[in-house]
């Protein structure tokens, strides 16, 4: 397999932030740099997607402070995401950096493509998910091994929310009030962030 769609549902929806995983560097508002991927070229395409499930904020990010975004494909709802068409090796290197591993090794995607889900380890982003296909190539992402019902919810930081919001606005089709309402309504953010507060961040 040469091409996959990487489905971003968190800060990697913002192309500027994703680029740091490909070329190396420190994203705005983050605490440390990323080494980058073996293949630093940008994704060939980016399209908005809406996989079934729920995005929520949980744990405490040592990169951003506040909660991280996770995806529960079994929860009821629809996730606003952004899919990037890229090489399988690029996806593997992005996943490795999210998993806290050194990039440079390809992933065995046989398990996730066969069953829709494959836990590579117990860590927070070590579970691969295959929510479908697009134009003949698989949609792939990664998340935690637990689901929303078992998550330790935590509100996201301002810097993190800005990346999510800017990514959704870049993807097109939605205005700032709609994006702000979506983010403020996700579990972990709901009750801690209002749509008006998120909208001010994005403006």
pLDDT tens profile 18-49: 999 999 988 777 777 889 999 999 999 999 99
Rounded CA-CA distance 21/98 in Å is 9
- Give the pLDDT band of residue 116 (cuts 50, 70, 90): very high
Q: What pLDDT digit, counting tens, does each position of 126-162 carry?
A: 999 999 999 999 999 999 999 999 999 999 999 999 9
Each residue's pLDDT tens digit, 48-107: 999 999 999 999 998 889 999 999 999 999 999 999 999 999 999 999 998 888 999 999
CATH topology classification for 3-202: Hypothetical upf0131 protein ytfp (3.10.490)
So where are the chain's domains? 3-202
pLDDT at 1 over 70: no
- Single pTM value for the model: 0.95
Question: If you compute the radius of gyration of the chain from its CA atoms, what whole number of angstroms results?
Answer: 16
How many Cβ atoms are within 10 Å of 46's Cβ, its own excluded?
A: 22
Q: What is the DSSP string of 123-169?
A: STT-EEEEEEEETTEEEEEEE-SS-GGG--B-PBPHHHHHHHHHHHH
């Amino acid at each position: 397999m040469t091409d996959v769609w990487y489905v971003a549902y968190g800060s990697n929806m913002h192309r500027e932030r994703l680029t740091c995983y490909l070329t190396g560097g420190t994203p705005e508002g983050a605490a440390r740099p990323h080494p980058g991927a073996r293949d630093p070229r940008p994704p060939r395409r980016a399209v908005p997607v809406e996989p079934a499930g729920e995005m929520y904020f949980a744990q405490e990010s040592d990169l951003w402070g506040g909660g991280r975004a996770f995806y529960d494909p079994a929860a009821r709802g629809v996730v606003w995401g952004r899919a990037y068409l890229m090489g399988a090796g690029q996806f593997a290197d992005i996943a490795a950096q999210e998993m806290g591993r050194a990039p440079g090794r390809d992933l065995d995607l046989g398990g996730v493509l066969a069953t829709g889900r494959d836990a590579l380890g117990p860590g927070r982003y070590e579970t691969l998910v295959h929510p479908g296909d697009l134009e003949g190539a698989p949609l792939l992402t990664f998340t935690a091994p637990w689901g929303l019902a078992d998550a330790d919810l935590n509100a996201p930081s301002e810097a993190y929310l800005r990346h999510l919001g800017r990514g959704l606005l870049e993807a097109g089709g939605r205005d700032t009030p709609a994006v702000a309402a979506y983010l403020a309504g996700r579990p972990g953010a709901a009750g801690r962030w209002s749509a008006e507060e998120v909208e001010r961040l994005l403006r």
